[in-house]
Amino acid sequence: MTGEAVALIVLGGVLLAASVGVVLSKNLFHSVLWLALALVTTAGLFLALHAEFLAGAQVLLYAGGVVTLVVFAIMLTERLVGETIAQMNRGIGWGALAAAAVFVAIAAVVVPASRQDPGRGASTTAALGEALLTEWALAFEVLGALLVAALLGALYLARADD
Amino acid sequence: MLKAYLLLAAAMFAIGLFGVLTRRNAVGILLAIELMLNAVNLNLVAFARAGGGVAGWLLALFLIAVTVAEVAVGLAIVIMIFRVRRTVEADHLNLLRG
């Protein structure tokens, strides 16, 4: 068994367990911690897929930024009123049925597909940077504008009333 | 190998969908959406590895940035709704009901 297969089995198991923890944990704060584990594990899978730069971005932006934001939001919306941060699920049966149906539908497409693995793509971080700043430079700049607009919008929405 | 990654991502996507359908708390729903988007990211990187080249990475990178923007705006909306209604239970948020 190759190292990549071992990494896939171990990280995949942790990833699925953490995902279940995100959606089933009674404590919202624990959900966020499970999400952080799932995101870091995904970064590990990116490393196994030789996407080192994306693994770094995943840890910095998702596990660092998003998780911090969500923790702040929980503090602001739950602690203020002194309620517990317990949460419940409703309609578990139907939800599980719908989720299982989607999984089966995707698997039914993926499993019989007979596409051969072509030779490994020679993607490098250098190639990614070059593509970002030449062919996709416009999209890259638009993305920057989107981020600024989104953060300004978030700031406006969440500002303190005065 | 590619199929294993795709099936793993599909399972993660389904778990996230389950969370979106069953969570009552708006923040919990956002977390489940994060899971679904993360599954898409995993797919993209796996495709890049299997021969898609840099395009898969580009899409994944853009998806990460868009997701961060989505979370920032989504949480701002949650905080604003909490100020108005004092709750973030999705079932109680029916301001737009006619």
Instruction: Write the pLDDT tens digit of every residue in B2-47.
Output: 888 999 999 999 999 999 988 888 888 899 999 999 999 999 998 8
**Which residue from B44, B38, B57, B62 is spatially nearest to A125, judged by alpha carbons?**
B57
Is A103 contained in some domain? no
Given a cut of 60, is residue A119 above it in pLDDT? no
Question: What CATH number is attached to the domain comprising A15?
Answer: 1.20.120.1200
Judge if A17 and A74 occupy the same domain: yes
Given a cut of 70, is residue A116 above it in pLDDT? no
What is the share, in percent, of chain B residues with pLDDT greater than 90? Answer: 33
Q: What is the pLDDT of residues A6-49, one digit of tens each?
A: 888 999 999 999 999 998 888 888 889 999 999 999 999 999 88
Does A23 contact B15 at a Cβ distance shorter than 8 Å?
yes
Is A158 contained in some domain? yes
Give the class (CATH, top level) of B2-91: mainly alpha
Is B85 part of the contact surface with chain A (CB cutoff 8 Å)? no
From A43, A73, A90, the end of a domain falls on A90
Q: What is the ipTM of this complex?
A: 0.89
Is A101 contained in some domain? no
Give the nearest chain A residue to B83 (CA atoms). A77
Tell me the two tokens of residue A62: 């998702």
Is A153 part of the contact surface with chain B (CB cutoff 8 Å)? yes
pTM passes above 0.90: no
